[in-house]
Amino acid sequence: MALIELTKHGLYCAQADVYIDPWKSVPKALITHAHSDHARSGNGLYIAQVHCVPLLNLRLGKINAQGLKYGEQMTINGVKISFHPAGHVPGSSQIRIEYKGEVWVVSGDYKLEDDGVCTPFESVKCHSFISESTFGLPIYQWKDQHEVYAEINNWWKKNATDGVVSVIMAYSLGKAQRILKHLDQGIGKVIVHPVVGVMNEAVRDFTPDLPMDIIWNKDLTASNYRNAMLIVPPNSAEAMLEMFNPCSIAFASGWMNFRGGKYQMSSERGFTLSDHADWSSLNKAIEASDAEQIFVTHGFVKPYVKWLREQGKNAFELETLFSSNGSSEE
């Protein structure tokens, strides 16, 4: 039997009797990160990286959770378990599982660029690597992130000069903090949706250099903030937008540079910024893992497995329930 296998509850290590990012309730779950397709409610015990724990509490309510530092090892029935930076969002991890010298790594979601907010990705050598492939096609190549931040700030500056409020739609965990960190607050104030605000506060507890923001409430005087930037989660900020009208709306996502991507039509501007590895980073991460077997999940699984096999790799498809299409980037 393989050290990690796919069951109807999710990825499972029978020797330690633990699941990894299970999609059905289980007694003991190892969690790679707090995005909703990886961290679901109803598990008996959650084991995650220490910074992931408060984010899990925020998203799932009161849970029974245990935190491990990056690199710290716990042993269950002879199985050594440790969490290593995935660089995806704050508190995100790759999970390393070792038994009798055999090592597996479950990547969860990852990116290789240092986004200035979360602990940067660290490559972990293993025999078997379970990789995501959200952007596993050669058309996905991210430009330098600092160019994107400059585009965002230029767009904001122009809007501010015109007296138009800028609105950027971004996922509340990951993207929102990354954008906040790189906004030029010399242009104006940054106002965030309460959902983003509480997440920022939780992340700020262990990331003290995350800049401050103003959490939106209905008593703000909009006329005082005509040069503001609003950070809001996608499709859930009507009251806020109404208050600050006229505004210019943009979306920050990896799907932006893909013609016909879901959000391209519904917002005025798109900025290509992703918390997932692009095509060359996926290949780089797989190469660096030295893995003999690669399991691909989450995204363009079939074409990516085919490509890996053409490169002489031992690659397999793994059908999980992590979200895998353009409708979500979590």
Residues that bind Zn ion (CB under 5 A): 35, 37, 109, 322, 330
In angstroms, what is the minimal distance from the CB of 322 to Zn ion? Answer: 5
Q: What is the DSSP string of 49-112?
A: ETTHHHHHHHHH-S--EEEE-BT-EEEETTEEEEEEE--SSTT-EEEEEEETTEEEEE--S--S
At its nearest, how many Å lie between Zn ion and the CB of residue 191? 25
Measured from the CB atom, the residue of 35 and 175 that comes closer to Zn ion is 35
| Residue with smaller CB distance to Zn ion, 32 or 166 | 32
Count Cα neighbours of 71 within 13 Å in the Cβ-side half-sphere: 4
Q: Are 285 and 121 in contact (CB under 8 A)?
A: yes
Nearest CA to 55 among 28, 32, 74? Answer: 32
SS3 for 207-256, per residue?
A: CCCCCCCEECCCCCCHHHHCCCEEEECCCCCHHHHHHHCCEEEEEEEHHH
Tally Cβ neighbours within 10 Å of residue 295. 24
**Closer CB to Zn ion, 37 or 122, in the complex:** 37
Rg of the chain over all Cα atoms, to the nearest angstrom: 20
CB of 264 to Zn ion, least distance (A): 21
If the CB atoms of residues 91 and 188 are measured against Zn ion, the closer one turns out to be 91
Closest CA to 171 of 237, 226, 229, 239: 237
Smaller CB separation from Zn ion, 109 or 213: 109
Q: Which is nearer to Zn ion, 31 or 250 (CB)?
A: 31
The smaller minimum CB distance to Zn ion, of residues 57 and 248, is found at: 57
- CA distances (Å), origin 255, targets 140, 180, 206, 221: 9, 20, 29, 34
Minimum CB separation from Zn ion for residue 36, in Å? 9
Minimum distance, C-beta of residue 109 to Zn ion, in the bound complex (Å): 4
Taking the complex as a whole, the smallest distance from the CB of residue 136 to Zn ion amounts, in Å, to 13
CB of 181 to Zn ion, least distance (A): 18
